[in-house]
Amino acid sequence: MTEQISPERTSTGTRRRTPRLSRPLKPTAAKATGTLRGAVRPPTKSRRRPAVIAAGVALAIVGGLGSWYYASTVGNTVTVLSTQTDVARGATITSADLTTLQIAGGQDTPAFTAAQATDVIGQTATVDLPAGTLVTTANVGEGISIAAGQSIVGVALTVAQLPNYPLAAGDRVRVVDTPIAQGDPPATSPKSFVATVFTSRFDEGTGTWVVDLVVPAQEAADIAARSATGRVALILDAPKGE
Protein backbone atom coordinates (compact mmCIF):
# COMPACT_ATOMS: atom_id res chain seq x y z
CA MET A 1 0.00 0.00 0.00
CA THR A 2 1.20 3.54 -0.70
CA GLU A 3 0.85 6.53 1.59
CA GLN A 4 -1.16 9.63 0.65
CA ILE A 5 -0.71 12.99 2.48
CA SER A 6 -3.93 14.69 3.76
CA PRO A 7 -3.89 18.27 5.12
CA GLU A 8 -4.59 19.08 8.86
CA ARG A 9 -4.72 22.43 10.58
CA THR A 10 -2.00 23.44 12.99
CA SER A 11 -2.01 25.91 15.88
CA THR A 12 -0.86 28.64 13.60
CA GLY A 13 -3.76 28.12 11.32
CA THR A 14 -1.81 26.37 8.64
CA ARG A 15 -2.71 22.99 7.43
CA ARG A 16 -0.45 20.06 8.00
CA ARG A 17 -0.49 17.14 5.62
CA THR A 18 -0.81 13.78 7.28
CA PRO A 19 -0.13 10.56 5.51
CA ARG A 20 -3.12 8.58 4.34
CA LEU A 21 -3.08 5.04 3.08
CA SER A 22 -4.37 4.54 -0.45
CA ARG A 23 -5.49 1.43 -2.18
CA PRO A 24 -2.85 -0.43 -4.13
CA LEU A 25 -2.83 -0.08 -7.83
CA LYS A 26 -4.32 -2.94 -9.81
CA PRO A 27 -1.76 -5.01 -11.67
CA THR A 28 -1.51 -4.32 -15.33
CA ALA A 29 -2.82 -6.76 -17.86
CA ALA A 30 0.67 -7.91 -18.62
CA LYS A 31 1.39 -8.69 -14.96
CA ALA A 32 -2.04 -10.23 -14.44
CA THR A 33 -1.49 -12.74 -17.19
CA GLY A 34 2.05 -13.51 -15.95
CA THR A 35 3.63 -12.54 -19.26
CA LEU A 36 6.68 -10.37 -18.88
CA ARG A 37 8.27 -8.40 -21.63
CA GLY A 38 11.37 -10.13 -22.89
CA ALA A 39 10.37 -13.57 -21.51
CA VAL A 40 11.55 -16.59 -23.63
CA ARG A 41 8.75 -18.53 -25.28
CA PRO A 42 8.99 -22.32 -25.64
CA PRO A 43 10.42 -23.44 -29.06
CA THR A 44 7.99 -24.43 -31.75
CA LYS A 45 8.05 -28.15 -32.49
CA SER A 46 9.23 -28.98 -36.01
CA ARG A 47 7.24 -31.36 -38.15
CA ARG A 48 9.25 -34.21 -39.73
CA ARG A 49 8.11 -35.72 -42.99
CA PRO A 50 7.61 -39.53 -42.96
CA ALA A 51 9.48 -39.88 -46.28
CA VAL A 52 12.58 -38.23 -44.84
CA ILE A 53 12.49 -40.51 -41.79
CA ALA A 54 12.10 -43.60 -43.99
CA ALA A 55 15.05 -42.55 -46.17
CA GLY A 56 17.23 -42.12 -43.11
CA VAL A 57 16.31 -45.56 -41.81
CA ALA A 58 17.03 -47.12 -45.23
CA LEU A 59 20.46 -45.48 -45.39
CA ALA A 60 21.28 -46.75 -41.92
CA ILE A 61 20.31 -50.31 -42.93
CA VAL A 62 22.37 -50.19 -46.14
CA GLY A 63 25.38 -48.87 -44.25
CA GLY A 64 25.09 -51.64 -41.71
CA LEU A 65 24.84 -54.32 -44.38
CA GLY A 66 27.88 -52.89 -46.18
CA SER A 67 29.94 -53.00 -43.01
CA TRP A 68 28.85 -56.57 -42.33
CA TYR A 69 29.73 -57.69 -45.89
CA TYR A 70 33.16 -56.06 -45.72
CA ALA A 71 33.93 -57.68 -42.38
CA SER A 72 32.70 -61.12 -43.47
CA THR A 73 34.41 -61.23 -46.90
CA VAL A 74 37.42 -58.94 -47.07
CA GLY A 75 38.31 -59.70 -43.50
CA ASN A 76 38.19 -63.46 -44.25
CA THR A 77 40.71 -64.26 -47.00
CA VAL A 78 42.40 -67.42 -48.26
CA THR A 79 45.92 -67.66 -49.68
CA VAL A 80 45.97 -69.69 -52.91
CA LEU A 81 48.52 -70.63 -55.56
CA SER A 82 48.91 -68.92 -58.93
CA THR A 83 51.55 -68.94 -61.67
CA GLN A 84 54.18 -66.22 -61.73
CA THR A 85 55.54 -67.34 -65.12
CA ASP A 86 53.98 -68.65 -68.31
CA VAL A 87 53.71 -72.44 -68.07
CA ALA A 88 53.13 -74.34 -71.32
CA ARG A 89 50.72 -77.21 -71.61
CA GLY A 90 52.47 -80.46 -70.71
CA ALA A 91 55.25 -78.74 -68.74
CA THR A 92 56.14 -79.92 -65.24
CA ILE A 93 55.28 -77.46 -62.48
CA THR A 94 58.29 -76.26 -60.45
CA SER A 95 58.53 -74.06 -57.38
CA ALA A 96 59.84 -71.24 -59.58
CA ASP A 97 56.55 -71.27 -61.49
CA LEU A 98 54.42 -70.62 -58.40
CA THR A 99 53.47 -67.63 -56.33
CA THR A 100 50.57 -66.82 -54.01
CA LEU A 101 47.69 -64.40 -53.87
CA GLN A 102 44.78 -63.79 -51.54
CA ILE A 103 41.14 -64.19 -52.47
CA ALA A 104 37.97 -63.65 -50.45
CA GLY A 105 37.03 -66.62 -48.35
CA GLY A 106 33.91 -68.65 -48.88
CA GLN A 107 34.29 -68.85 -52.66
CA ASP A 108 33.56 -72.14 -54.37
CA THR A 109 36.88 -72.55 -56.21
CA PRO A 110 39.07 -75.61 -56.84
CA ALA A 111 42.24 -73.54 -56.41
CA PHE A 112 45.11 -75.10 -54.49
CA THR A 113 45.98 -73.34 -51.23
CA ALA A 114 49.49 -72.25 -50.31
CA ALA A 115 49.71 -75.18 -47.88
CA GLN A 116 49.26 -77.56 -50.85
CA ALA A 117 52.28 -76.28 -52.78
CA THR A 118 54.25 -79.51 -52.27
CA ASP A 119 51.37 -81.43 -53.82
CA VAL A 120 51.40 -79.22 -56.93
CA ILE A 121 55.16 -79.20 -57.58
CA GLY A 122 56.02 -82.02 -59.98
CA GLN A 123 52.57 -82.21 -61.54
CA THR A 124 51.84 -81.38 -65.18
CA ALA A 125 50.04 -78.41 -66.66
CA THR A 126 47.11 -79.83 -68.59
CA VAL A 127 46.53 -76.50 -70.40
CA ASP A 128 48.62 -73.41 -71.10
CA LEU A 129 48.90 -71.34 -67.91
CA PRO A 130 49.70 -67.66 -68.48
CA ALA A 131 51.32 -65.81 -65.59
CA GLY A 132 48.75 -64.92 -62.94
CA THR A 133 46.53 -67.97 -63.54
CA LEU A 134 45.01 -69.66 -60.50
CA VAL A 135 46.40 -73.18 -60.10
CA THR A 136 43.42 -75.52 -59.80
CA THR A 137 42.55 -79.18 -60.06
CA ALA A 138 41.16 -78.40 -63.53
CA ASN A 139 44.45 -77.18 -65.08
CA VAL A 140 47.07 -79.25 -63.20
CA GLY A 141 47.23 -83.00 -62.93
CA GLU A 142 49.39 -86.12 -62.96
CA GLY A 143 49.77 -85.93 -66.73
CA ILE A 144 48.02 -85.30 -69.98
CA SER A 145 45.94 -88.11 -71.37
CA ILE A 146 45.64 -88.60 -75.10
CA ALA A 147 42.77 -90.11 -76.98
CA ALA A 148 42.67 -93.76 -77.89
CA GLY A 149 44.47 -94.47 -81.17
CA GLN A 150 46.98 -91.62 -80.73
CA SER A 151 50.67 -91.55 -79.79
CA ILE A 152 53.24 -88.93 -78.77
CA VAL A 153 56.44 -88.69 -80.83
CA GLY A 154 59.43 -86.50 -79.98
CA VAL A 155 61.13 -84.71 -82.86
CA ALA A 156 64.47 -82.88 -82.51
CA LEU A 157 64.78 -79.95 -84.88
CA THR A 158 67.29 -77.21 -85.53
CA VAL A 159 66.18 -73.61 -85.99
CA ALA A 160 66.42 -74.17 -89.77
CA GLN A 161 63.89 -77.03 -89.63
CA LEU A 162 60.96 -75.21 -88.06
CA PRO A 163 59.28 -71.80 -88.39
CA ASN A 164 60.70 -68.83 -86.52
CA TYR A 165 57.45 -68.62 -84.63
CA PRO A 166 56.91 -69.85 -81.08
CA LEU A 167 55.00 -73.11 -81.01
CA ALA A 168 52.25 -73.63 -78.47
CA ALA A 169 50.34 -76.66 -77.31
CA GLY A 170 47.50 -77.40 -79.66
CA ASP A 171 49.12 -75.94 -82.81
CA ARG A 172 48.42 -77.91 -85.99
CA VAL A 173 51.63 -78.81 -87.85
CA ARG A 174 52.91 -81.09 -90.61
CA VAL A 175 56.06 -83.18 -90.48
CA VAL A 176 57.55 -83.18 -94.01
CA ASP A 177 60.27 -85.35 -95.59
CA THR A 178 63.24 -83.34 -96.85
CA PRO A 179 66.04 -84.34 -99.25
CA ILE A 180 69.66 -84.77 -98.28
CA ALA A 181 71.73 -81.65 -97.75
CA GLN A 182 72.41 -79.89 -101.06
CA GLY A 183 70.46 -82.61 -102.89
CA ASP A 184 67.95 -82.09 -105.66
CA PRO A 185 64.40 -81.29 -104.65
CA PRO A 186 61.96 -84.21 -104.93
CA ALA A 187 60.21 -84.64 -108.26
CA THR A 188 56.88 -85.18 -106.51
CA SER A 189 55.29 -83.75 -103.40
CA PRO A 190 57.17 -85.03 -100.34
CA LYS A 191 55.54 -87.26 -97.79
CA SER A 192 53.98 -85.34 -94.89
CA PHE A 193 52.25 -86.25 -91.64
CA VAL A 194 49.64 -84.17 -89.84
CA ALA A 195 50.28 -83.73 -86.11
CA THR A 196 49.38 -81.58 -83.11
CA VAL A 197 51.96 -79.93 -80.86
CA PHE A 198 51.90 -81.39 -77.37
CA THR A 199 54.88 -79.55 -75.84
CA SER A 200 58.00 -77.81 -77.07
CA ARG A 201 61.23 -76.83 -75.33
CA PHE A 202 64.71 -75.68 -76.28
CA ASP A 203 67.60 -77.98 -75.36
CA GLU A 204 70.56 -75.72 -74.64
CA GLY A 205 72.95 -78.71 -74.56
CA THR A 206 72.33 -79.68 -78.17
CA GLY A 207 71.06 -76.32 -79.45
CA THR A 208 67.90 -77.92 -80.83
CA TRP A 209 64.20 -77.72 -80.23
CA VAL A 210 62.50 -80.85 -78.94
CA VAL A 211 58.87 -80.91 -80.02
CA ASP A 212 56.47 -83.57 -78.76
CA LEU A 213 53.78 -84.30 -81.33
CA VAL A 214 50.46 -86.06 -81.00
CA VAL A 215 50.03 -88.27 -84.07
CA PRO A 216 47.89 -91.22 -85.14
CA ALA A 217 49.28 -94.37 -83.62
CA GLN A 218 49.79 -96.07 -87.02
CA GLU A 219 52.04 -93.18 -88.21
CA ALA A 220 54.13 -92.85 -85.05
CA ALA A 221 56.86 -95.30 -86.20
CA ASP A 222 57.29 -93.65 -89.62
CA ILE A 223 57.66 -90.19 -88.06
CA ALA A 224 60.12 -91.45 -85.44
CA ALA A 225 62.29 -93.11 -88.12
CA ARG A 226 62.36 -89.99 -90.29
CA SER A 227 63.16 -87.79 -87.28
CA ALA A 228 66.19 -89.98 -86.49
CA THR A 229 67.70 -89.21 -89.93
CA GLY A 230 67.34 -85.48 -89.36
CA ARG A 231 65.69 -85.16 -92.79
CA VAL A 232 62.41 -83.62 -91.70
CA ALA A 233 60.97 -80.13 -91.38
CA LEU A 234 58.01 -78.78 -89.47
CA ILE A 235 55.30 -76.65 -91.08
CA LEU A 236 52.86 -74.63 -88.96
CA ASP A 237 49.29 -74.60 -90.29
CA ALA A 238 46.39 -72.36 -89.43
CA PRO A 239 43.95 -73.66 -86.81
CA LYS A 240 40.87 -75.46 -88.02
CA GLY A 241 38.12 -73.20 -89.23
CA GLU A 242 40.41 -70.34 -90.26
In a domain, 8, yes or no: no
In a domain, 40, yes or no: no
The Cα–Cα gap between 169 and 154 comes to: 14
In a domain, 25, yes or no: no
77-116: pLDDT as tens digits: 889 999 999 988 778 899 999 999 988 877 777 889 999 9
> Which pLDDT belongs to residue 146?
81
Same domain for 213 and 154: yes
DSSP letter string, 7-76: EEE-TTS-EEEEEEEEPPPPPPHHHHTTPPTTPPPPPPPPPPPHHHHHHHHHHHHHHHHHHHHHHHHTTS
In a domain, 2, yes or no: no
> Which pLDDT belongs to residue 173?
96
Are the C-beta atoms of 85 and 131 separated by less than 8 Å? yes
Are the C-beta atoms of 88 and 135 separated by less than 8 Å? no
Same domain for 167 and 117: no
List the chain pLDDT tens, one digit each, 242 residues. 444 445 555 555 555 555 555 555 555 544 444 444 555 566 555 555 666 666 666 666 666 555 555 555 555 788 999 999 998 877 889 999 999 998 887 777 788 999 999 999 999 888 889 999 999 988 898 877 788 999 999 999 999 999 998 888 788 999 999 988 777 887 788 999 999 998 888 888 999 999 999 999 999 999 999 999 999 999 999 877 55
Same domain for 212 and 175: yes
Q: What is the CATH number of the domain that holds 87?
A: 3.90.1210.10
SS3 97: helix
Closest of 198, 110, 184 to residue 154, by C-alpha: 198
Final residue of a structural domain among 95, 122, 141: 141
CB within 8 Å of 21: residues ≥ 6 apart: 1, 2, 3, 4
Same domain for 171 and 224: yes
> Which pLDDT belongs to residue 9?
53
* 99 exposure class (CB count in 10 Å sphere: 0-12, 13-18, 19+): middle
The Cα–Cα gap between 207 and 140 comes to: 29
Domain count, the chain: 2
> Which pLDDT belongs to residue 239?
79
In a domain, 81, yes or no: yes
The Cα–Cα gap between 157 and 173 comes to: 14
Same domain for 162 and 230: yes
**Order of strands across the sheet that contains 208-216:** 150-157, 208-216, 192-203, 172-177, 232-236
Provide the domain limits for residue 98. Answer: 77-141
The Cα–Cα gap between 112 and 129 comes to: 14
